[in-house]
């Protein structure tokens, strides 16, 4: 509960109406469906709806004041405040309501096309192995003390603010946040400031939203230009050319001094794979020394994420030796080249590859273990960048021996149309089946496995649902594989 005057950022206020003295606000929301008596309703325009349309509804549910960007309606019974920028006002209000918890935390922001969740997950584990208390907000889940399911990769500040408050109550020192390009573009994280910021890589994704790769890159760049704290450290991975571009631009524009940027992957921290046991045995070269570490990590692409992780840990003040030691205990995040079953000499992996680059990296990680066929089962999400579909088809066709095309999260699109889009990239180079029902596709794939084969089930990783026409149905690749294997075993026995 707060007084409105305590939480309103006065520099954003343009005019007020029907406002006598002050008033008490019991909660804040920008969703009329969540309004309770005593709440401040923040009416904002989105991509689908205009919050103004729900003001009447919010008042009926007991909203005591309305915050808006549009002209005030003098016929409304409720106090109204008009602000210059609703996004910015919303961010300030959310953090003020929870008493600016971010000021007492060290925030680490990680962006890039692939590897955000992996690097964040590793960093949280690493910090914990170094006896530090850390939280995480990202695709896998939100874990601030307790673990709760994630909605978006980077949720609204209205969700982040209470999580940060909770972080203080849990006596956490660090909060690691994945910052997606959508969130950066929409300023969902305004006005947070990060102490450590990392860029993993950039490749094709989300062009349905950003339209072209330059706009997508600009959104990622915003983390460094708009959301860095004074004296912040940046970790830039050079695994894609965009790393160097980002580095040059940040220096040229004066956002960072050279000494505050840690370059990793082929400059600064370099990580080489010495052996796959199958856990990665890594050689880490830094300007100060060379370290050999035997890890439990699986998947060659994780070596690149380890370099970014190392850079983050250095930026937080840890020493190479401590980092090397803590690295030994890390394990893969759920759904990232997760071994989810075995069938008489054949191995089944689940991976969250949902971009062409990720699929290529996941398949290349499995190639060294191939004794028979490499079979790839995947689909592409509906209402997401259709341009990546044929490219993923091409990667799968090039690197696997058999491809099984199925549905991912079709959302509001026709699954058959999505499969057709992927098929155009296959080029008829490799045999393939189209089985739109994912459960049936998994069954065919698992049943077809022969000694020495590897099956990669890509696209959904840790997800525990399948989204069809706005509804999320329980579905887990891992659980389905388990059931199919049990059934096969029962029938065999």
Ligand X SMILES: Nc1ncnc2c1ncn2[C@@H]1O[C@H](COP(=O)(O)OP(=O)(O)OP(=O)(O)O)[C@@H](O)[C@H]1O
Ligand Y SMILES: CC(=O)N[C@H]1[C@@H](OP(=O)(O)OP(=O)(O)OC[C@H]2O[C@@H](n3ccc(=O)[nH]c3=O)[C@H](O)[C@@H]2O)O[C@H](CO)[C@@H](O)[C@@H]1O[C@H](C)C(=O)N[C@@H](C)C(=O)N[C@H](CCC(=O)O)C(=O)O
Ligand Z SMILES: N[C@H](CCC[C@H](N)C(=O)O)C(=O)O
- Tell me how far, at minimum, the Cβ of 205 lies from ligand Z, in Å: 7
Angle at 472 between CA 469 and CA 477, to 5 degrees: 115
Cis peptide before 177 (omega within 30 of 0): no
Structural element, H or E, at residue 405: strand 402-405
Q: Are the C-beta atoms of 424 and 434 separated by less than 8 Å? A: no
Burial 213-227 (b: 16+ CB within 10 A, else e): eeebbbbbbbbbeeb
Q: How many residues belong to the chain?
A: 493
32 lies in the binding site for ligand Y (CB under 6 A): yes
119 lies in the binding site for Mg ion (CB under 5 A): no
* Rounded CA separation 52/36 (Å): 17
Q: Are the C-beta atoms of 9 and 90 separated by less than 8 Å? A: no
Cis peptide before 427 (omega within 30 of 0): no
408 lies in the binding site for ligand Z (CB under 6 A): yes
In this structure, the number of other CB atoms found within 10 A of the CB of residue 291 comes to 18
Residues 155-194, interacting with ligand Y (CB under 6 A): 156, 180, 182-183, 188
Binding-site member from 9, 27, 44, 184 for ligand Y (CB under 6 A)? 44
Q: Which residues contact 396 (CB under 8 A, 6 or more apart)?
A: 359, 363, 376, 378, 403, 422, 426, 430
411 annotated binding-site participant: yes
Tokens matching residue 141: 């889940």
Please report where in the chains the tokens 């220096």 appear, as a residue. Answer: 251
> Smaller CB distance to ligand Z: residue 86 or 391?
391
Residue 20: strand, helix, or coil: coil
413 lies in the binding site for ligand Z (CB under 6 A): no
Tokens matching residue 161: 């603010």
51 lies in the binding site for ligand Z (CB under 6 A): no
In this structure, the strands spanning 471-474 and 465-468 are antiparallel
117 lies in the binding site for Mg ion (CB under 5 A): yes
331 annotated binding-site participant: no
> Smaller CB distance to Mg ion: residue 139 or 201?
139
Contact partner, 358, from ligand X, ligand Y, Mg ion, none, Cβ < 5-8 Å per class? ligand X
12 lies in the binding site for ligand Z (CB under 6 A): no
Contact partner, 473, from ligand Y, ligand X, Mg ion, none, Cβ < 5-8 Å per class? none
Tokens matching residue 381: 């999400």
Q: Are the C-beta atoms of 137 and 178 separated by less than 8 Å? A: yes
- Tell me how far, at minimum, the Cβ of 208 lies from ligand Y, in Å: 9
460 lies in the binding site for ligand Z (CB under 6 A): yes
- Tell me how far, at minimum, the Cβ of 46 lies from ligand Y, in Å: 2
> Smaller CB distance to Mg ion: residue 117 or 332?
117
> Smaller CB distance to ligand X: residue 239 or 408?
239
Contact partner, 44, from Mg ion, ligand X, ligand Y, none, Cβ < 5-8 Å per class? ligand Y
Question: Which one, of 415, 464, 414, lies nearest residue 441 by Cα?
Answer: 415
Contact partner, 351, from ligand X, Mg ion, ligand Z, none, Cβ < 5-8 Å per class? ligand X
> Smaller CB distance to ligand Y: residue 44 or 124?
44
Please tell me what DSSP assigns to residue 268.
S
CA atoms within 13 A on the CB side of 443: 10
- Tell me how far, at minimum, the Cβ of 362 lies from ligand Z, in Å: 13
Binding-site member from 16, 18, 23, 31 for ligand Y (CB under 6 A)? 31
341 annotated binding-site participant: no
- Kindly determine how many residues on this chain lie close enough to bind ligand Y according to the rule CB under 6 A: 20
32 annotated binding-site participant: yes
Enumerate binding residues for ligand Z (CB under 6 A): 153, 354, 381, 384, 408-409, 459-460, 463
Instruction: Please state the residue numbers annotated as binding site for ATP.
Output: 112-118
Enumerate binding residues for Mg ion (CB under 5 A): 116-117, 139
Enumerate binding residues for ligand Y (CB under 6 A): 30-33, 44, 46-49, 51, 54, 139, 152-154, 156, 180, 182-183, 188
Instruction: Please state the residue numbers annotated as binding site for meso-2,6-diaminopimelate.
Output: 384, 408-411, 459, 463
């Amino acid at each position: 509960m707060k007084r409105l005057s305590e939480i309103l950022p006065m520099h954003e206020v343009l005019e007020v109406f029907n406002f006598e003295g002050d008033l008490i606000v019991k909660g804040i929301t920008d969703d009329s469906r969540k309004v309770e008596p005593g709440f401040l309703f923040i009416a904002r325009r989105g991509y689908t709806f205009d919050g103004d349309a729900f003001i009447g509804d919010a008042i009926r549910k007991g909203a005591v004041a309305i915050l808006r960007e549009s002209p005030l309606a003098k016929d409304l019974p409720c106090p109204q405040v008009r602000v210059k920028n609703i996004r910015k006002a919303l961010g300030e209000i959310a953090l003020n309501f929870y008493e600016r918890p971010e000021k007492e935390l060290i925030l680490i922001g990680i962006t890039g096309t692939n590897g955000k969740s992996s690097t964040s997950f590793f960093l949280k584990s690493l910090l914990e192995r170094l006896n530090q208390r850390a939280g995480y907000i990202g695709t896998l889940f939100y874990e601030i003390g307790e673990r709760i399911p994630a909605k978006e990769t980077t949720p609204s500040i209205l969700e982040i603010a209470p999580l940060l408050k909770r972080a203080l109550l849990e006596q956490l020192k660090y909060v690691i946040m994945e910052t997606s390009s959508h969130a950066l573009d929409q300023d969902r994280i305004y006005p947070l400031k990060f102490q450590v910021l990392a860029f993993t890589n950039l490749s094709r994704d989300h062009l349905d939203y950003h339209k072209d790769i330059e706009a997508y890159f600009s959104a990622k760049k915003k983390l460094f230009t708009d959301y860095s704290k004074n004296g912040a450290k940046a970790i830039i991975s050079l695994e894609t050319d965009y790393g160097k571009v980002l580095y040059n631009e940040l220096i040229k524009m004066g956002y960072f001094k050279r000494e505050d940027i840690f370059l990793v992957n082929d400059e600064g921290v370099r990580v080489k794979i010495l052996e796959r046991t199958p856990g990665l045995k890594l050689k880490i070269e830094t300007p100060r020394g060379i370290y050999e570490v035997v890890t439990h990590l699986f998947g060659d692409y994780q070596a690149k994420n380890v370099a970014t992780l190392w850079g983050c840990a250095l930026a937080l003040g840890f020493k190479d030796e401590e980092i090397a030691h803590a690295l030994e205990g890390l394990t893969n995040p759920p759904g990232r080249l997760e071994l989810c079953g075995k069938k008489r000499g054949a191995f089944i992996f689940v991976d969250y590859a949902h971009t062409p680059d990720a699929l290529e990296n996941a398949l290349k990680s499995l190639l060294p273990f191939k004794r028979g066929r490499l079979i790839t089962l995947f689909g592409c999400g509906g209402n997401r960048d259709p341009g990546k579909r044929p490219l993923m088809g091409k990667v799968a066709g090039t690197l696997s021996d058999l491809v099984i095309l199925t549905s991912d999260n079709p959302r509001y699109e026709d699954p058959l149309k999505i499969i057709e889009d992927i098929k155009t990239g296959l080029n008829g180079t490799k045999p393939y089946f189209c089985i739109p029902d994912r459960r049936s596709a998994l069954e065919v794939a698992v049943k077809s496995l022969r000694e020495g084969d590897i099956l990669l089930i890509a696209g959904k990783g840790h997800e525990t649902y399948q989204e069809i026409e706005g509804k999320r149905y329980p579905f887990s690749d891992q659980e389905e594989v388990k059931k199919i294997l049990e059934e096969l075993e029962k029938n065999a026995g």
